[in-house]
Amino acid sequence: MDSVGELRLRELIMHALAEATAESGFVTRAQLSALEVAGMPRRVIDQGRGIWNPTTMSATLSIISDPLSEYDDIQESDSLFRYAYQRGTDAGVHKKLRKAQELELPIIMLRTIAPGRYVPVFPVYVVGDDQAKRQFVLALDESLRFLRDPLHLSADERRYAERVVQQRLHQPEFRGRIMRAYDTQCAVCRLKHGRLLDAAHITEDGDDAGLPIVTNGLSLCKIHHAAYDANLLGISPDYVVHIDRDLLEERDGPMLKHGLQEMDKARLQLPTRRRERPDRDRLAQRFAGFGAAG
């Protein structure tokens, strides 16, 4: 396969991966083992290692990043990512990662959120090989491919890279974790169409305490997310939905009636795993704002 053909195949794989991820925000190992690409199943993950080097491709296709790994194989450094050389593998495993840098081919980062569950991040580019530290330097966006010196960023480059990391990694990972926790349904109305669901922050992400963690999130359909952000819908720390008093008195057709008014005093649909349920203190603080606005 020539380089043009390989790039086209990678683009097709990434398009198929985007479609597979759109519904729930994450993909399973089973999906990645036989992803349908242009009518054919394609493996997108290695069976046992953290790097997938297909024999039919000249460079690495995907790497696994597990934030809970016993050795932190991915580190944030200078706002780029550093992927540690794989331990216990022969040097040949890394040759194709170097080839990805040489040929400027995009790869896929599979961010582990639970056993056998991954949030794909792509396109990712290998922009450096720090052999002294035994780490590859990765850019999570095309705009970061052409940095003057990826190992030593300027202050402006670092700030820009931090925004990219937020948009390309933290936000999708947050959504994937929230969709998994809530079984891909709205916590208010139980809508189960993933493309119509958002991962909503309780403590807003612009706040220093607005961390992208499951206990600071809710799975909400787009109308209830918008209502929550506009303080037309509140959620008390006892997990009860409240609708703005003025809104309850309006008369404006079935969407208002069934979509919002009938949700008043409904019980929130909670994650089955107690450790993933919304933090009550965060809900109380946010609910106080809802009360003040009403």
Residue-level length of the chain: 294
pTM score:
0.85
- Please report which confidence band the pLDDT of residue 78 belongs to, taking 50, 70 and 90 as the band edges: very low
Neighbours of 50 (CB within 10 A): 22
For residues 10 and 105, the answer to whether their CB atoms sit within 8 Å is yes
Judged against a pLDDT cut of 70, whether residue 75 lies above it is answered with no
Paired sense of beta strands 40-42 and 35-37, if any: antiparallel
- Predicted local distance difference test score (pLDDT) of residue 71: 47
What's the pLDDT band for 195 if we cut at 50, 70, 90? very high
| Res 107 pLDDT > 70 | yes
**Who's near 13: CB < 8 A, 6+ residues apart?**
35, 37, 42, 44, 61, 108
- Among 8-12, 48-52, 169-173, 228-232, the range scoring the smallest mean pLDDT is 169-173
With residue 166 as reference, give the H or E element that holds it. none
Whether the Cβ atoms of residue 269 and residue 199 lie closer than 8 Å to each other: no
Check: CB of residue 217 under 8 Å from CB of residue 276: no
Give the pLDDT band of residue 77 (cuts 50, 70, 90): very low
Least confident of 72-76, 157-161, 212-216, 278-282: 72-76
Burial of 202 (0-12, 13-18, 19+ CB in 10 A): buried
Q: pLDDT-derived band of residue 253, with 50, 70 and 90 as boundaries?
A: confident
Instruction: Using pLDDT thresholds of 50, 70 and 90, give the confidence band for residue 90.
Output: low
Of 60-64, 70-74, 220-224, least confident by mean pLDDT is: 70-74
Cβ neighbours of residue 17 closer than 8 Å, sequence gap 6 or more: 27, 35, 44, 108, 120, 122
Q: Assess contact for 61 and 54: CB atoms under 8 A.
A: yes
Between residues 59 and 151, which one has the greater pLDDT? 59
Average pLDDT, the chain: 88
